[in-house]
């Protein structure tokens, strides 16, 4: 069978591959500590579960508008105003089956073949593949470890060419948990205005910022808001990753185009999940605050424990729920890449993490601390014994 070059060029997800291997080992009775997948280990708050049950009882089984039901768009507009100081009309809100279709749709809407998209390494594994699928060209700048993995405007400007079309931000970051400061985002906004560029801001972890407050670049000015797509979703905040509800705010013209695109690609998001997310956004937020507080405790224990192990360097992340320790001082002639180190840790210590190779760096391994404190302590113990 002759498949297209485009589809053959897609690299499989290292995150899902490691998770599958860990689950396979667990099925064989091996006590694997799985830190590979990024999803909260807290149950969805009960009011959200009850809203889903009520939607089923109400028979909410039919199609909705492709970009989301009006009640959900209004709730999202309320969320953006309440939590991000962003005023979007519900007509400027687009909801989808997760954040990925929104990211892909935005790139398809903005890019001509060969247009360049600038983003930072370490990067979420999907960015390179989804840019290429949209016929764009990935252009990577380094977010340096010594800068706490913060994407810098100066590094972006060095990469801008006459083919640059989009700056893609991810704050807080997956995989590093790094946050782009308000000051740096304002500098990036100046670049976008100066060079007539669009901004896609992936803010899926905006409710999980531990040091300071989250800042949305679209609040810089009306001019910047008009050239920004702010992408978010319910998955990480409410522990409902499998329900697949993403949402975004954007200029009206783009929102209309995105709705048409989604109507042909995915259709509407799950109707029952939409009803549940209306309750998630409009209902009490106490459980989100408790989850964030617990994540902060786990972060501190994990980072301190990693840095206490000789040869490991781990920056303290300001957001999300990942640590991204540097293992390079433990590399050998046989174990000389992050992939080989991750395989070594999985087979010898029975610890599953995602190698930094998947995120554009070779020295690191990503561990999610969406895991119990006991699991984190056991992970640290096994690392000390197997490095």
pLDDT per residue over 112-126, tens digit each? Answer: 999 999 999 999 999
pLDDT at 14: 66
pLDDT at 150: 98
Structural domains in the chain, sorted by start: 5-43+286-386 (3.90.1150.10), 60-282 (3.40.640.10)
pLDDT at 27: 87
pLDDT at 15: 66
Residue whose entry in the numeric block shows the structure tokens 């930072």: 120
8 Å CB contact between 33 and 352 = yes
pLDDT at 116: 98
Residues of the chain with confidence (pLDDT) below 70:
12-16
pLDDT at 184: 98
pLDDT at 25: 85
Torsion angles phi and psi, residue 11, rounded to 5: -85, 135
Q: What ranges in the chain are assigned the alpha helix state H?
A: 5-8, 14-27, 46-57, 70-84, 99-110, 126-133, 153-159, 182-194, 222-225, 235-238, 252-265, 271-282, 286-307, 338-344, 373-386
């Amino acid at each position: 069978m002759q498949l297209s070059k485009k589809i053959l060029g897609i690299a499989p997800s290292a995150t899902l591959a490691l998770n599958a291997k860990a689950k396979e080992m667990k099925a064989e009775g091996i006590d694997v500590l799985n830190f590979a997948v990024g999803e909260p280990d807290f149950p969805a708050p009960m009011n959200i579960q009850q809203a889903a049950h009520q939607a089923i009882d109400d028979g909410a089984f039919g199609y909705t508008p492709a970009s989301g039901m009006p009640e959900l768009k209004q709730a999202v507009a309320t969320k953006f105003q309440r939590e991000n100081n962003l005023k979007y009309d519900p007509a400027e809100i687009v909801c989808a089956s997760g954040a990925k279709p929104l990211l892909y749709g935005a790139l398809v809407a903005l890019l001509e073949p060969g247009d360049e998209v600038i983003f930072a390494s370490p990067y979420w594994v999907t960015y390179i593949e989804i840019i290429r699928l949209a016929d764009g060209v990935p252009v990577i700048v380094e977010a340096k470890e010594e800068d706490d993995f913060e994407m810098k405007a100066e590094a972006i400007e060095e990469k801008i060419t006459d083919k640059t079309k989009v700056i893609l931000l991810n704050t807080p970051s997956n995989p590093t948990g790094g946050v782009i400061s308000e000051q740096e985002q304002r500098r990036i906004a100046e670049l976008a205005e100066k060079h007539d560029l669009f901004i896609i801001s992936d803010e899926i972890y905006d409710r999980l910022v531990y040091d300071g407050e989250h800042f949305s670049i679209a609040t810089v000015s009306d001019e910047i808001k008009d050239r920004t797509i702010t992408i978010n979703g319910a998955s990480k905040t409410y522990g409902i990753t499998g329900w697949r509800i993403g949402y975004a705010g954007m200029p009206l013209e783009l929102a209309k185009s995105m709705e048409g695109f989604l109507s042909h690609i995915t259709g509407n998001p799950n109707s029952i999940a939409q009803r549940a997310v209306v309750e998630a956004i409009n209902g009490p937020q106490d459980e989100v605050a408790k989850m964030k507080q617990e994540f902060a405790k786990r972060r501190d224990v994990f980072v301190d424990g990693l840095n206490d192990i000789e040869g490991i360097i781990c920056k303290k992340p300001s957001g999300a729920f990942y640590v991204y320790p540097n293992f390079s001082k433990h590399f050998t002639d046989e174990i000389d890449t992050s992939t080989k180190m991750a395989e070594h840790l999985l087979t010898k210590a029975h610890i599953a993490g995602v190698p930094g190779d998947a995120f554009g760096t070779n020295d690191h391994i990503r561990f999610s601390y969406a895991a119990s404190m006991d699991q984190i302590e056991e992970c640290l113990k096994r690392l000390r014994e197997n490095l």
